[in-house]
Amino acid sequence: MGELGYIDALLGHWDVRYPGADGMIVDSYVERLELRIDGTFSWAPTPLWAKPQGRWGIEFVGAEQMKLYIEERRGGYRANWLVFGAIPEPMWCWQRTRTDGVVFDDRVLMARRNTSCRPAPTPVPAAGSAECAPPSDYPISLIESLSGILGPAAWGTGAPIWRTSLGTLAASPIEVDMPLPGHRITALLALSLTLTSSGDTADLVAKLHAPPGLGAAFASLDATKVEVASQLPLSADDTPKDRERLGSLLATAGVAQLHLAAACLRLPAPASLLHREAAWGRELTDLGSELARGGEGVRMNASALCVGGRATGVRFLGTCTHPCLGNGLLDGISIDVDAGVERATQLAGALNVLHRVAPLPLLGAWTAPPEGCRICYASFFPNIAHETGLLAQIATWQRERLHFAQYMLQRLAKRPAD
């Protein structure tokens, strides 16, 4: 970032609007942005990432290109390319691509000149607004990632909601106080997609679990509703960067939920899922070597890692192709149980329900194979979720999940089948 300046054309009051899922500007929600000659701004309602009052400036790139910088809530500046236009009143777009014209599917926001200075209409409180300030446990990356794909969130009872063609996607933090060995869980960050089924909800739940994704499906008390849920615990020891990484992962889980639901309901997916290459295989080799040095029973090759024995084991496959989510990592747990298929299915369902109130990530589901005799947990991480250190974290989650399942199965075994 070079020295920041200003241009007279940007000074004054602007009505800020955002594009929806179709790329067109949504007129029903407006924010007010004032850019002042002293390099300060005020923004209300305030986006999650920006300061309500902060600094702004222009960087000139080449002869005619400009970047607009806005001070972020977390420190530093956010910058995007500035493109002017008239419709017929003065307007400008803040977009990711450097160009001489407006790129409609690449706009972060659009601002139109406001000459009346009347309070902007705000039918729905914005993320970060005083009327509906998100709890401090909300990772900004979760809201920004989903809003960038699905359009701005509506806010109800303190939770962001995205209404899609498939159903309602809602995020909600649940404040808890769960002391665990070595750390303390302070919140469970949940993301759920509510679907309407015209058929058998149990059949839809089974379809949503095969092939696996990044969540578990539950039949609602309403006979026509199915909920797909993903969840991540937030620890008191998490750094802000840790929480933002978890927020991004949960946003990926939300998009995966939409893709799997669309495939099961045979409807178009309302969100795109980017694909990329990822080095799961190399990291699996490093993880396997570390576990072997610690005395774990390990079997591995260039793309697969198995830990444990035949009766109980954890596996990772780094070169899997998912029919809906592309290439990625499949991880799973297998536990032998002394039960037929009906009882094994009941146990798997009970573990899914117990998982939702446990301080563990819910990024997959427990199921029972058709032959019974065992239950399995599986999740699929598309390559877009890959980042350094995630595989080691997944391995830790799997170890905690295995211990939790073994403990709960011992207790469930003492109860008669329903």
45 preceded by cis ω (within 30°)?
yes
Per-domain boundaries in the chain: 8-113, 136-265, 280-413
Q: How far apart are CA 387 and CA 254, in angstroms?
A: 18
User: Do 70 and 78 meet the contact criterion of CB atoms below 8 Å apart?
Assistant: yes
Whether domain 280-413 has CATH 3.30.870: the reply is no
The predicted pLDDT at position 157 comes to 57
- One fold for 8-113 and 280-413: no
Mean pLDDT, all residues of the chain: 83
Q: How confident is the model at residue 230 (pLDDT cuts 50, 70, 90)?
A: very high
Q: How far apart are CA 351 and CA 365, in angstroms?
A: 9
User: For residue 356, is pLDDT > 90?
Assistant: no
Q: Could you tell me what percent of the chain has a pLDDT over 90?
A: 34
Burial class (CB in 10 A: 0-12, 13-18, 19+), 133: middle
DSSP string for residues in 89-110: SEEEEEESS--SS--GGGEEEE
- What mean pLDDT is predicted for residues 304-326? 88
pTM over 0.75: no
159-163 and 183-196: which strand pairing?
unpaired
Q: Over the stretch 117-146, which tens digit does the pLDDT of each residue have?
A: 543 333 333 433 433 444 444 688 888 888
Q: Could you tell me what percent of the chain has a pLDDT over 70?
A: 87
Residue 23, sorted as left (phi over 0), alpha (psi -120 to 50) or beta, turns out to be: left
Q: Over the stretch 179-223, which tens digit does the pLDDT of each residue have?
A: 777 778 888 889 999 998 888 898 999 999 989 999 999 988 777
CATH pick for 136-265 out of 3.40.190.10, 3.30.950.10, 3.30.1460.10, 3.40.50.1970:
3.30.1460.10
**Nearest CA-CA partner of 113 in 33, 20, 43, 6:** 33
Give residue for tokens 């780094």: 318
The fold for domain 8-113 equals Lipocalin (2.40.128)
